[in-house]
Chain A
Amino acid sequence: NAGVTQTPKFQVLKTGQSMTLQCAQDMNHEYMSWYRQDPGMGLRLIHYSVGAGITDQGEVPNGYNVSRSTTEDFPLRLLSAAPSQTSVYFCASSSTAGSYEQYFGPGTRLTVT
């Protein structure tokens, strides 16, 4: 199994550009989430989904949109990139919202200039 996959691995954007970070999992997990990792701040939750068609905001949702049309995919959209969104983004999934183990993808390193 591939587990949780993310594309692209690296991306450089100019301020104001838009893009979508892709996340897919092949474990039939209901729960998926997006985190951003910044130096000295650990990981912070951006958005999460408890199933297809259901999404909600996390701790730092501003500037990001998500949708969940299938169980497998959970893309993260940046509508108008800002330098403050320079970060490493991780997608994670688990079999239920209350599951103890979340499986993380390898991450996308985004730089906004």
Chain B
Amino acid sequence: GDSVTQMEGPVTLSEEAFLTINCTYTATGYPSLFWYVQYPGEGLQLLLKATKADDKGSNKGFEATYRKETTSFHLEKGSVQVSDSAVYFCALSYSSNTGKLIFGQGTTLQVKP
């Protein structure tokens, strides 16, 4: 079946450091890929998405490229801020069905001043 695997956290960085959160997936078809972010005490928000191979999603300085050959969708940011501290979820979905999201386990990011 389909699944998503993320690197284990927590990830602790100093402000302005470079961020990479690894995400790999197993899929039987051609899914769309997503990164959602959950700030403390809140629900999830869509951060970025990519709908086909080689697409790059970007938002708020975050980027991720849909790599079909390595089945990966790693999240990157060049310079993190304290306000980026949150839990990040990688997910996949097929647009042709119910829209069900399959999530990775989440990675907690802590950014220290």
| Partner-B contacts on A (CB < 8 A) | 4, 31, 33, 35, 40-45, 48, 50, 56, 58, 90, 92, 94, 96-102, 104-107
- B49 at the A/B interface (Cβ < 8 Å)? yes
Q: Which of B92-113 contact A (CB under 8 A)?
A: 93, 95-101, 103-106
Q: What CA separation (Å) do A92 and B49 show in the bound complex? A: 17
Q: Which residues of B contact A56 (CB under 8 A)?
A: 98
Q: Apart from A31-B98, A45-B101, A105-B43, what are 20 other A-B pairs with CB-CB below 8 Å?
A: A33-B100, A41-B105, A42-B89, A42-B103, A43-B89, A48-B98, A50-B98, A94-B99, A98-B96, A98-B99, A100-B32, A100-B46, A101-B49, A102-B46, A102-B99, A104-B43, A104-B45, A106-B41, A106-B42, A106-B43
Chain B binding surface SS class = loop
Chain B 50-85 near chain A by CB (<8 Å), digits 1 or 0 = 010000000000000000000000000000000000
Q: What CA separation (Å) do A60 and B44 show in the bound complex? A: 20
Q: Which of A35, A90, A100, A106 contacts B95 (CB 8 A)?
A: A100
Q: Which residues of B contact A94 (CB under 8 A)?
A: 99
**Can you report 19 residue pairs joining A to B where beta carbons are below 8 Å apart?**
A4-B43, A31-B98, A35-B101, A42-B103, A42-B105, A43-B103, A48-B99, A56-B98, A92-B44, A98-B95, A98-B97, A99-B99, A100-B46, A100-B49, A100-B93, A100-B95, A101-B49, A102-B99, A106-B41
Q: What CA separation (Å) do A33 and B102 show in the bound complex? A: 13
Q: Which of A42, A97, A107 contacts B99 (CB 8 A)?
A: A97
| B113 CB, min distance to chain A CBs, angstroms | 27
Chain A residue nearest to B42 (CB atoms) is: A106
Q: What CA separation (Å) do A31 and B98 show in the bound complex? A: 8
